[in-house]
Structure 1
Amino acid sequence: MNNHRDLPPDDPLRQALHDEVHARPSALIPLPALIAFVAVLNDGVDRAQELEHLRRLPGQADLQASDLNNHFLRLQLPDGRTLKWERHTEFTRYSLVQPLPEGMGLGASEPALHGTLALPPGWLNGIPGRTVAAILLAMVVADLPEQTADAQARLMRPAQHWFGDRTVVASQLGGGHSWAVTDFRLRASGFEHMLVVAPPDTSASRAGRISQRLLELETYRLMALRGLPVAKALSPMLAEAEARLAAITAQLEHKSLNEQDLLDQLVALAARVERATAEHTYRFAATRAYDALVAQRIGELRERPIPGTQTVGEFMRRRLSPAMATVAASEGRLGSLSERITRTSALLRTRVDIATEAQNQELLAKLTRGQELQLQLQTTVEGLSIAAISYYVISLLLYVGKGAKAAGLPVHPEMAAAALVPLVLWATWRTTRKIHEKLGGSLHPGQGGVKPPAPPAG
């Protein structure tokens, strides 16, 4: 045999992904058999706790932690019994398969199946976790009747009697190769009871597939329904939030109200909705996934009706669909509410932006008026400054003239000072203008004063 490998190196996940298809094979169940199935929520339960509990089973004291690495383990127990352990994301399943005790078949009426389980005392009660599903499934052997109403009624009578003559749900599986009967009721033991009637030639592999589909169907139904209490608890909050959002939106029509108050209310409402979304998104998504699995398992049963009873799939759809619709409606309301809050926030931001723009325009107008007044004041001050400077210059010239007259020069100081007034005024004004030109300003735009600053863009 040629074992030469002529391939690139494996992706690190290749082996695990390849083996996933073989991860949870159906059990081989020789009939008649009794299956005790328990599914527990494993939140807060680690594998070490589950390993320690599995070691309490007969002959399993040497179990190692590595035996639980693949999320699936089948243990061989004494007397032909097997126990299967499976760990999923939210729950762990334990399935005990043992021969059906005598007197528990079709001739019995409400058989005490719980008392016949071959397990150590207290083992079931000690399973770590919280029970979400517990089923006792009896698989018996009998010749199936022909496809006539009378023949099927003759088999239904002992099957219904097995459930204490209560109303049951029943269907033919796989197009008629076996029957499944149940009443979907919890007993005092905490278990539901199911009954499968199969012909004597049913193979162990087919019996294993039948049991797996029925047990998974009920487990996924119960896991899907975990979203219903969440949806019901969320409904009052959604109604209150929707009313509050409607009130905030109505207040946006009144311009006299304070935008900051509206924004504070909207932020508080948005935080409340986002918190609810974060807390419940996973539960709603899980509910959708479990509901899809329920529909898939119902399809795999390939049911045929039995006259006078509802099929398992019909019963499931009638009871499960309203609950799933309620969950979907709550999820939709939560998403819609979040989107509406986003739109309202956008409207409020637009209103705040418009109000801010108006305030900016008003501020700019005030600044412009202030600058004009400042310019006028500055012009007046500069005019007074020219007159004052000219006055002091002329006074100095007058003193110079008086000094010259006192020195004997033929000068008339007052007349000389009067004659120099226009020249001094012109010289002072000219000097002031040159100073402004040197500093880059002008008294008036284009005429030598201080140019008012341009308003900011926008």
Structure 2
Amino acid sequence: MRDDGRAILTPPARGIAHILPRDHPQRLVLNDEVHARPSEILEAPLKLSYLAVFAEGEQRADVWRRVQELAGRYGVDPAPDTANHYSANFGPFRIKCERHTEFLRLVFIVEDGRQPESFEEPALQAVPPEWLAALPGQLITAANVLLQHSDGDWPEPERIATQFFDGNALVGASIADGAAFAFTDFRIRADGFSRLLVMDHGMTPRQAGRTVQRLLEIDTYRILALLALPMAHVLAPFLAARERELAEVTRLLVEAKAPDEALLFDRLTRLEAEMESEQSRNHYRFSASVAYEALVDSRITELREERLAGLQTFREFLERRFLPAMETCRSSAASQESLSQRLTRVTQLLSTRVDITREAQTQDVLASMDRRAKLQLRLQETVEGLSIAAITYYIVGLVGYLAKGGSRAGLPIEVDLVMAASIPFVLVLTALALRHHRRKAARES
């Protein structure tokens, strides 16, 4: 209340925005990131075909343009160029497309109301074949999915394996806290597709969409993580050879003399260049492999699996088959990093030895220069002594000429006596004059 008894009116909340601090430029983008690429709403029964296409740079844009062209063919609004997610109903099928850093996911869904009883007529048959044939990129994962209504009975793995998976050994579990069952054999068939059977035992449509997406992501991220495995296999002999060469250089370094250091340094710098080149080539792939492995583990955890008698769960199967391969990748990356660090240490050690050798050589040069300077000083002192004698000789000669001139003029001068008497004075004065000039030159320098 105001002092005059009237109430103070509070402005409505929607009118407060204009008085708040201005938004950070990335606020809305970062907030909407949690809503990016939402899972599809799926309701059994339906058929689904899934493609993960490895594409980078211009190829990613080409795939997106192909999806836009397909939308135009069916009279549907195409996806914006800047979008990373697109979902639409084309009539005969629904499509969902997502763009990721290295790949794109394409999902084709057919809902005809019939319970699918086999994989013989996949959802991808509804998509124009010429459009599929022109799709750019490289296939990472291709899977056909059947989402069935569960009849309420406990699933029979043997019957499911015979009916849907050619009798192969199955991997399966009760998932989503018992709301569904999932089965696969992780095999690629002659048509290029793997198979996934999901039996809906009480999932909501959104839950079904999330569950199918997780199962497909497990397969996709598993393959993307394993892209580092061939690189690890190629890297192993390369690292073994460089290990041997580094050991040889280290052994030679123990007994090396100064003339050998340049050759050893050349070998080490060549090894370092080779290691740096190899690391720059595969560092991203190994780092990405670790990230994709973490995503696989996360998606398996989100399945909330429960064991079915006689079957391996998804986690058990991948821990036995997938994790050893990932350990190989991690081991190769660690070995590469360790070798690079050891190579750096040995190079630093040799550099230190070279520096010490150079310092010793510098000391020898300075000592030699010092000896030459002392020799020059002695020579200079000798020359100065000779110069004093020579100057004294010439000055005394001048004094003699002066005395001779005086004697001829009639002065009582004994020339030889005058010359002999002048020698000490001239010698001392000449020495003092040279000493004065030398000191003056030293002060000026």
Distance between the aligned counterparts of 2:121 and 2:224, measured in 1?
25
Distance between the aligned counterparts of 2:146 and 2:63, measured in 1?
30
Partner of 2:101: 89
Per the TM alignment, residue 403 of structure 1 is displaced from its structure 2 partner at its CA by 1.8
Distance between the aligned counterparts of 2:317 and 2:289, measured in 1?
19
Partner of 1:167: 169
Distance between the aligned counterparts of 2:60 and 2:289, measured in 1?
24
Deviations 1:335-378 (A, max 9, x none): 11221122112111110111111111111111111111111111
Per the TM alignment, residue 48 of structure 1 is displaced from its structure 2 partner at its CA by 4.9
Distance between the aligned counterparts of 1:103 and 1:207, measured in 2?
16
Partner of 2:39: 26
Deviations 1:250-283 (A, max 9, x none): 2221232422222221111111111111111111
Deviations 1:190-248 (A, max 9, x none): 1001111223x433222212211101111111111111111111122211222222222
Point out the more displaced range, 428-437 or 127-136.
Answer: 428-437
Q: How many residues align?
A: 429
Partner of 1:356: 358
SS in structure 1 of the partner of residue 255 of structure 2:
coil
| Contact 1:42 1:91 (8 Å CA) reproduced | yes
| Contact 2:51 2:139 (8 Å CA) reproduced | yes
- Picking from 328, 331, 338, the partner of 1:329 is 331
Distance 1:412 1:2, change over 3 A: closer
| Contact 2:228 2:285 (8 Å CA) reproduced | yes
- Picking from 269, 272, 282, the partner of 1:270 is 272
| Contact 2:170 2:183 (8 Å CA) reproduced | yes
Per the TM alignment, residue 47 of structure 1 is displaced from its structure 2 partner at its CA by 2.5
Distance between the aligned counterparts of 1:209 and 1:343, measured in 2?
50
Per the TM alignment, residue 119 of structure 1 is displaced from its structure 2 partner at its CA by 1.3
SS in structure 1 of the partner of residue 131 of structure 2:
coil
Distance between the aligned counterparts of 1:103 and 1:76, measured in 2?
20
State the one-letter code of the partner of 2:231.
V
Give me the TM-score of the superposition, normalised by structure 2: 0.91
| Contact 1:263 1:348 (8 Å CA) reproduced | yes
Distance 1:116 1:236, change over 3 A: closer
| Contact 2:54 2:140 (8 Å CA) reproduced | yes
State the one-letter code of the partner of 1:186.
I
| Contact 2:48 2:123 (8 Å CA) reproduced | no
Partner of 1:401: 403
State the one-letter code of the partner of 2:69.
R
| Contact 1:55 1:62 (8 Å CA) reproduced | no
Distance between the aligned counterparts of 1:46 and 1:26, measured in 2?
21
Per the TM alignment, residue 134 of structure 1 is displaced from its structure 2 partner at its CA by 0.2
Bigger proportion of residues as helix: 2
Partner of 1:185: 187
Is 1:3 the counterpart of 2:23? The answer is no
Partner of 1:243: 244
Is 1:424 the counterpart of 2:426? The answer is yes
State the one-letter code of the partner of 1:366.
S
State the one-letter code of the partner of 1:423.
F
| Contact 1:241 1:269 (8 Å CA) reproduced | yes
Identity of aligned residues (%): 38
Is 1:78 the counterpart of 2:91? The answer is yes
State the one-letter code of the partner of 2:27.
R
Per the TM alignment, residue 115 of structure 1 is displaced from its structure 2 partner at its CA by 7.8
Superposed CA RMSD in Å reads 2.2
Per the TM alignment, residue 59 of structure 1 is displaced from its structure 2 partner at its CA by 5.1
Distance between the aligned counterparts of 2:55 and 2:354, measured in 1?
50
| Contact 2:407 2:414 (8 Å CA) reproduced | yes
SS in structure 2 of the partner of residue 97 of structure 1:
strand
Distance 1:213 1:274, change over 3 A: same
Is 1:135 the counterpart of 2:143? The answer is yes
Instruction: Flag structure 1 segments of 5+ consecutive residues without an equivalent.
Output: 147-151, 442-449, 454-458
Distance between the aligned counterparts of 1:64 and 1:116, measured in 2?
20
Distance between the aligned counterparts of 2:359 and 2:235, measured in 1?
41
Point out the more displaced range, 133-142 or 159-168.
Answer: 159-168
Partner of 1:305: 307
Distance 1:59 1:423, change over 3 A: closer
Distance 1:2 1:383, change over 3 A: closer
Point out the more displaced range, 405-414 or 34-43.
Answer: 405-414
Give me the TM-score of the superposition, normalised by structure 1: 0.88
Deviations 1:95-135 (A, max 9, x none): 01112685742xx5xx4134872111233332221100000
SS in structure 1 of the partner of residue 142 of structure 2:
strand
Per the TM alignment, residue 313 of structure 1 is displaced from its structure 2 partner at its CA by 1.5
Deviations 1:114-171 (A, max 9, x none): 487211123333222110000001111123445xxxxx5xx22321112121211111
Partner of 1:320: 322
Distance between the aligned counterparts of 1:431 and 1:21, measured in 2?
96
Distance between the aligned counterparts of 2:409 and 2:170, measured in 1?
143
Partner of 2:253: 252
Distance 1:351 1:100, change over 3 A: farther
SS in structure 2 of the partner of residue 26 of structure 1:
coil
Instruction: Flag structure 2 segments of 5+ consecutive residues without an equivalent.
Output: 1-11
Per the TM alignment, residue 288 of structure 1 is displaced from its structure 2 partner at its CA by 0.4
| Contact 2:71 2:78 (8 Å CA) reproduced | no
